[in-house]
């Protein structure tokens, strides 16, 4: 049996150590798939290589999925799900808002999450059943009602054909809540929700490495996280997060707020085809 409390301490140390690869001004930038908005730096690759080696050493036989090089070990009982640098554009532009995100799946469950912002020495973590923490302090989501809520969202960075749905969702939500933010780093935005700085979150198309770690942190902080399943002109919320392909992610500080955000999102997503989403 895995001792999650012991393991998370070891993962925190490894993540902090991995951040040494981000403390440099000399990194190269490459465009992925010829898209000017889709970049990877040499630091992303160095962090991922380091994490893969250390994490698989830590739990022998474990699988590893990371954004860079797209390894997918979905058949392993224990699997690390890693975004070496979440918010690569922020990192490359010196904005000091990026996260190293390490989640762990055991069977079908996400059970451990660590997210670290090296520029602020800001560390968030949780293990299933043991609460969520920020720099050593137990954290909880806010109690904000929908009208006073701040939402974090984005316009589908890597599938710009979905931006119109996202802006329609944002516009409708914005009319009913207090304000919105776009920090450019999904994993940290979710952690900000876990500590009560923001209250709602929506992205239409995230990869498992964008949310695996933060999902554990959100749930342990008392928040609700769902995806959307859709087809045949219908769309509905589901708490079964999808861990093998990109999927929509909605988060809120309460079930009532999640459902209210969900009713806006599902209305705008109902007509979406699989071909448009791919
Ligand atoms: C992206 C960032 C961004 C979010 C995108 C993600 P990356 O991750 O988290 O905030 O809007 O959906 O893909 O590519 O910088 O690791
Ligand atoms: Ca990411
Ligand atoms: Ca990344």
d(CA 178, CA 124): 26
pLDDT at 32: 81
Residue-wise pLDDT tens digits, 121-145 = 999 999 999 999 999 999 999 999 9
210 in contact with ligand 1, CB cutoff 6 A = yes
Q: How far is the CA of 176 from the centre of ligand 3 (A)?
A: 32
Q: What is the CA radius of gyration of the chain?
A: 18
Q: What SS3 class is residue 270?
A: coil
Tell me the average pLDDT across 34-45.
88
- Give the model's confidence band at 36: pLDDT under 50 very low, under 70 low, under 90 confident, else very high: confident
Q: How far is the CA of 1 from the centre of ligand 1 (A)?
A: 34
pLDDT at 160: 95
231 HSE (CA, 13 A, CB side):
2
Cα separation values, 54 from 51, 65, 213, 231, Å: 5, 14, 17, 41
Which residues contact residue 124 at a Cβ distance below 8 angstroms, ignoring those fewer than 6 apart? 113, 114, 115, 116, 132, 133, 134, 139, 191, 194, 195, 214, 217
Query: Among candidates 147, 123, 141, which has minimal Cα distance to 199?
Result: 141
Query: Among candidates 118, 89, 120, 76, which has minimal Cα distance to 101?
Result: 118
* Average pLDDT across the chain, whole number: 95
191 in contact with ligand 1, CB cutoff 6 A = no
Ligand 1 atom closest to residue 87's alpha carbon, by position in its atom list: 15
d(CA 229, CA 136): 36
Which residues contact residue 106 at a Cβ distance below 8 angstroms, ignoring those fewer than 6 apart? 2, 77, 78
User: Which of 186, 198, 248, 250 to mutate for ligand 1's pocket (most ligand atoms within 8 Å of CB)?
Assistant: 186
Q: What pTM value is reported for the model?
A: 0.97
Residue-wise pLDDT tens digits, 65-119 = 999 976 667 789 999 999 999 999 999 999 999 999 999 999 999 999 999 999 9
In the chain, the percentage of residues whose pLDDT exceeds 90 is: 89
DSSP 155-216: --TT-GGGHHHHHHHHHHHHHHSSEEE--S-HHHHHHHHHTTS--EEEEEEE-HHHHHHHHH
d(CA 22, CA 52): 16
Residue-wise pLDDT tens digits, 182-236 = 999 999 999 999 999 999 999 999 999 999 999 999 999 999 999 999 988 899 9
Q: Can you list the domains of the chain with their CATH numbers?
A: 4-139 (3.30.540.10), 146-277 (3.40.190.80)
- Give the model's confidence band at 263: pLDDT under 50 very low, under 70 low, under 90 confident, else very high: very high
Report angle CA 114, 120, 124 to the nearest 5 degrees: 20
Query: Among candidates 272, 262, 205, which has minimal Cα distance to 234?
Result: 272
Which ligand is closest in space to the CA of residue 22?
3
End-to-end CA distance of the chain: give it in Å, rounded: 38
List the single range of 130-139, 147-156, 268-277 with lowest mean pLDDT.
268-277
pLDDT at 70: 64
Specify whether the CB–CB gap between 250 and 226 falls below 8 A: yes
Query: How far is Cα of residue 223 from the mean position of the Cα atoms in its chain?
Result: 14
Across the beta sheet with 122-127, what order do the strands follow? 63-66, 78-86, 99-106, 109-117, 122-127, 132-134, 137-139
Specify whether the CB–CB gap between 199 and 150 falls below 8 A: yes
């Amino acid at each position: 049996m895995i001792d999650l409390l012991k393991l998370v301490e070891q993962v925190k140390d490894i993540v902090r150590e991995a951040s040494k690869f981000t403390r440099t001004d000399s990194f190269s930038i490459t465009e992925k798939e010829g898209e000017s908005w889709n970049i990877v730096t040499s630091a992303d690759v160095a962090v991922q290589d380091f994490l893969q080696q250390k994490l698989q050493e830590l739990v022998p036989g474990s699988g590893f999925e990371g954004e860079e090089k797209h390894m997918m070990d979905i058949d392993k009982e224990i699997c690390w799900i890693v975004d070496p640098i979440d918010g690569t554009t922020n990192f490359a532009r010196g904005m000091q808002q990026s996260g190293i995100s390490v989640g762990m799946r055991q069977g079908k469950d996400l059970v451990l999450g660590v997210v670290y912002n090296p520029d602020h020495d800001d560390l968030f973590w949780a293990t299933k059943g043991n609460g969520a923490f920020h720099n050593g302090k137990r954290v909880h989501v806010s109690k904000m009602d929908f009208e006073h809520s701040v939402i974090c969202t984005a316009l589908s960075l890597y599938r710009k054909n979905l931006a119109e749905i996202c802006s329609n969702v944002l516009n409708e939500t914005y009319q009913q809540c207090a304000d919105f933010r776009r920090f450019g780093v999904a994993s940290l935005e979710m952690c900000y929700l876990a500590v009560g700085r923001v209250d709602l979150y929506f992205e239409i198309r995230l990869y498992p490495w964008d949310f695996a770690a933060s999902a554990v942190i959100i749930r342990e902080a008392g928040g609700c996280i769902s995806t959307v399943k859709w087809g045949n002109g219908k769309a509905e919320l589901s708490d079964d997060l999808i861990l093998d392909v990109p999927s929509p992610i909605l988060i809120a500080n309460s079930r009532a707020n999640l459902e209210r955000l969900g009713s806006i999102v599902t209305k705008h997503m109902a007509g979406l085809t699989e071909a448009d989403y791919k």
